[in-house]
Amino acid sequence: MPNEPTLHQRRREATPAELAGIPWLAVLQPHERAKAVESIKVGDALPGDYLCRVGRPVTYWFGVVEGLLKMSTDNAQGRTITFSGLPPGGWFGEGTVLKRETYRYDIQALRRSVVAGLPADTFHWLLDHSIGFNRFVMNQLNERLAQFIAAREIDRMNNPDLRVARNLAALFNPVLFPGVGEVLRITQQELAYLVGLSRQRVNEALASLQEQGMIHIEYGGVRVLDLQALRSTSFRDRTHA
């Protein structure tokens, strides 16, 4: 609809329950937390809404309170490269905010989601005043680097079961996505978008991973039973057996 308000126009104050789902607030001192809470805005993203677009100037440091987002970009050949799914508890783009650059990726909602944004100026104020916030951001950057390296490796994998396993392992990262816990609420179609496979092939891979005791498929989601097995290099041999 032409008069549909944009995600930016739908921004609002965060509720206490939504603030409780923001992991880095817990590391702040009371006066730091008060300043952050005053600045945080949340928005109700609809499927297909974009939070960030390639080439746009940075305005917020974003996080997922509820729902599921996709971080991706298109290469020179027009092929979409997905860097990561972004489940609850995940905050992203700290490197871009640090350097006040334009975005080098698109962030899109795969389903109805609640997203939070901390203005870039407040982000930098916290960097200047909060040791706890600095440590949180450094941990994020370290984990994010490892995640992107793994994403490039996954993108080259020809084994579908291995691609699904590694993508699931990335979504269960307890540092980057502390809101996920042991059960990831995701549909097979959403996982197919992230992995770059058909829904049918993802369904077959999930069944194989469940048979091997790594996951349990539940209604509306996946429960991880053996995260180390999903990450393990020895898993390569089993899938090619």
For residues 227 and 119, membership in a common domain is answered with no
| pTM of the predicted protein model | 0.83
Question: In terms of residues, how long is the chain?
Answer: 241
Last residue of a domain, one of 153, 187, 208: 153
Domain boundary among 135, 153, 171: 153
State whether 167 and 144 are in the same domain.
Answer: no
What residues make up the domain containing 197?
157-239
CA torsion through residues 128, 130, 132, 133, sign: negative
124 and 164 both lie in a single domain = no
Report the pLDDT value the prediction gives residue 239, as an integer from 0 to 100.
44
Q: Could you count the other beta carbons within 10 Å of the beta carbon of residue 88?
A: 21
Side chain identity, residue 203: N
Are residue 75 and residue 164 in the same domain, yes or no?
Answer: no
Residue ranges, the chain, pLDDT below 50:
1, 236-241
Helix locations, 72-186, DSSP H: 94-99, 120-129, 131-155, 160-171
Identify whether residues 56 and 167 lie together within a single domain: no
> 85 and 191 share a domain?
no
CB 187 within 8 A of CB 193: no
Are 135 and 27 found together in one domain?
yes
Residues 114 and 141 in one domain: yes
Name the helix (H) or strand (E) containing 43: strand 41-45
* pLDDT for the residue numbered 1: 47
